[in-house]
Amino acid sequence: MISARYPSYMNIDPFIDVERLKSLDGIITERLRQRLASAGDRQFYTGPFLFDANTPDLPGSRMIELARSREPENYYDLDRTEIWEPSAEAAEFAPLMDFIATLPFAATGRMLIMYDPIGRAVSAHKDHDSTDLCHEFIWFRSNLSKPFYMLNPETGERAYVAGHAAWFDTVNQFHGADGSGGLSFSIRVDGVFSDEFRNKIPFPKENRAAAPSVWANSVMAV
Ligand SMILES: [Fe+2]
């Protein structure tokens, strides 16, 4: 049986249209710069599971919600696809929404752009602590300027995401970003993967949250 090794992430570039994603970089960057003037976007909160308690849980990045829940905020709702609907901001980022429609999801839930105009570090954190819960999401970016990494808490070893898209274990390892000094952003879409995509994934019977790392390890073992 293939197990998970940390730090690790599953490279999703082979499953998406990377050239189309890269072609959106100019328009996303331009729209983000237009929004900076208003500065009304909500601050990103890492949650309580920080790797280093001395790092900020409000690291300075902000979020643009491309979908909004019809129910009061609850982190465990992010893949309840039936309660999410496109926000007004989705229209502002229409070419991005068209791209998201090409991703291997049967249905989408929460959709966020995370950005920081001055590219501050994002404190390493876990998203939650339920090892039996595996969120199906794709993290992606139109350029490589955000130094985004996975971190093994026991060894301190980091694995930086090299490409444009990843799926990663958010529970058994930490993730964060180094400062970049300039506008940096990434996008995360949660939902339910398509059956075709799910069929490729070796979901473990226990510690289901480890599925992205088990998958990454199995690909490397081939
Ligand atoms: Fe996170």
CA distances from 68 to 61, 73, 84, 146, 222 (A): 19, 9, 5, 25, 40
Q: Find the 20 Cα to ligand 1 centroid distance in Å.
A: 25
Tell me: the pLDDT tens digits for 49-96?
999 999 999 999 999 999 999 998 888 888 899 999 999 999 999 999
Q: Find the 94 Cα to ligand 1 centroid distance in Å.
A: 25
Q: Find the 60 Cα to ligand 1 centroid distance in Å.
A: 14
The CA distance from 119 to 220, in Å, is 32
pLDDT band at 154 (very low <50, low <70, confident <90, very high): very high
Place of tokens 């905020």: 73
Q: Find the 183 Cα to ligand 1 centroid distance in Å.
A: 19
Question: Which domains are seen in the chain, by residue range?
Answer: 10-221 (2.60.120)
Q: Given a cut of 60, is residue 115 above it in pLDDT?
A: yes
| 36 or 5, higher pLDDT | 5
pLDDT band at 158 (very low <50, low <70, confident <90, very high): very high
